[in-house]
Structure 1
Amino acid sequence: MSDNRIVKAIKEKSKSMEAEMSFFDHIEELRWHLIRASIAIIIFMIVAFIYYDFIFDTIIMGPKKPTFWTYRMLCKLGEALHRPGFCIDKIPGKIINTEMAGQFTLEINSALIIGITLGFPYLLWEIWRFIKPALHEKERKAASGFVFYASLLFIIGILFGYYVIVPESISFLANLSVSKEIENTFTVDSYLSSVATLTLATGIVFELPILIYILSNLGILTVKFMRAGRRYAIVIILIIAAVITPTPDMLTMTVVSIPLFVLYEVGIVVAGTVEKRKLRQAQEA
């Protein structure tokens, strides 16, 4: 009797050890996926550091110049609509450095932000490689375009944030003056933080359909729930647009809100597709 208990205890212990080994194996595998993604980000960061003059003068400081693409398009739009107020031909405000190592830190931070932005699709690819073995064959086929669509939405969001939200925000804040006694002078860290935050935040917000797809697969979101909550979603989107764009004019808020409304409607279509797939699989089973 005691021998059976010993054998049973040994078997249970071996099962728990196998489970622990499996858990730590997964952690080790995840660690290597994250290491490879970090190496890719570092490589992009080094490339950005090498070509820093072009990146800083053309990309980072672009929205500060009246010759920026967005400002030129607004001028053309103003001419076509006979609304000269659309044209932005002056971006006042002086950008200064107030720290001893400020400009060196600026180079490092700028290169890191560029590295993260360019390396984001590869990070998604490594995450997909990690979770792919745990999925069933049908789940793999259903999520086969995850990296492509997530990267595409992120890039579209980055471009929208950089060419629409950032220039509108900088133009408004640089021209804002509550008194003639106050001169707008911005630190370079503040400027870089504003450009990076608005751009990356918009890229992340554009991942909304991917988030809806995941939540729909988990059964948390349904088409019925999203349609019923559309009125609340509109209010939330308007609040997000007001937070992202510090400009008070309705035109800018509308321009920012429209893509978010479209993303929400795309999310409803995505949730509907997931529900139909689940129903079809249930009927086949």
Structure 2
Amino acid sequence: MTGDTDPDVAAWLEWLASQRRASALTLTAYARELARLSELAAPTPLARLAPHDIRRFAGRLHAAGLGSRSIARALSAWRGFYRWMTHYRDLAANPVEHVRPPRAPTRLPRALSPDQAAALLERQPEDGLQLRDRAMFELFYSSGLRLAELVSLDVGHGIDRLDATVTVLGKRGKTRSVPVGRAALAALDAWLVERPGFARPDESALFVTRTGTRMSSGAVRSRLDLWARRCALGVHVHPHMLRHSFASHVLQSSGDLRAVQELLGHASIRSTQVYTHLDFQHLAKVYDAAHPRARRK
């Protein structure tokens, strides 16, 4: 420790090392965060800080460009220090206890454009395994399935050709049925012709590997990444992006948020509302490109 380190901070770090067996990396990180707090508080002693001081310091960090996660880490270290102070230094209250970091901005899921989705799915398979891949990717995009839902599908269960639906067991054990498009059904038919040549006799999985066992989530991600790179889309494509694309494109065409909620199997409409932002982004781009008063010179 440096000579000007607050003695309480030094004692807390020693306690973490001896009593909690904190790693050297953790101790270095905590020392850095408490040094930051001391700098923000100077010349006020740390033991005299109040909740409004901590909120003000968090605001200053945010204004300086520190991200929400970084501020949350700082607050966590400060909270731990003051919790120790209330036990070992008779501090009346922890000033960080109810202070929360700024809310992180919502990260919008990336979606393919309809043209990109078409380019991805119209690539012609060259062998049986590629027929399997196209069937998987068509089903992702056609029905908005989660990755876990897709790999859990079995032959003879879940897909109803007469109704053109697929029934899956989603999160929290909820069953839902969603439509399957004609292109996806055709791709599934083509794969089912090839599947007996790959699947082991006792394997029930709809989608199997070249060794005949059920496809893992990692294997599906890898095959989709390879497929997308061969299509030269210029973006990294992952299974959840196809689910995002399904939701975004259905919402853009229908405007029916509740229907998209049901199709995705979201328990809350709030989970689905992120796609309204995607839809607005699309509309904003159209506006910027088309409106005479919006065009950039």
TM-score by length of structure 2 reads: 0.21
Greater Rg, structure 1 or structure 2? 2
Q: Which has the higher contact order (CA 8 A, sep 6+)?
A: 1
